[in-house]
Amino acid sequence: MNEKAYKAMNFAGISGIVVGIIVALVGVTAGVITIVGGARLLKEKRGLTF
């Protein structure tokens, strides 16, 4: 019985680590995309005339 509990805890721990890494990568990627988009908007603002 204890062996099943240890296996379940091991799987839960590994799953938590994997999900954490994926969330961190998605967050960094979204941040970089946002910064690049903002920089492009500021760059293009200079050429805008009304």
pLDDT the model gives residue 40: 93
Q: How many helices (H) and strands (E) does the chain have?
A: 1, 0
pLDDT the model gives residue 47: 72
∠ CA 32-33-37, nearest 5°, is 120
Q: What is the pTM of this model?
A: 0.71
Distance CA 25, CA 32 (A): 11
CB-based burial label for 14 (10 Å; 0-12, 13-18, 19+) = exposed
Residues 30-47 have a mean pLDDT of: 92
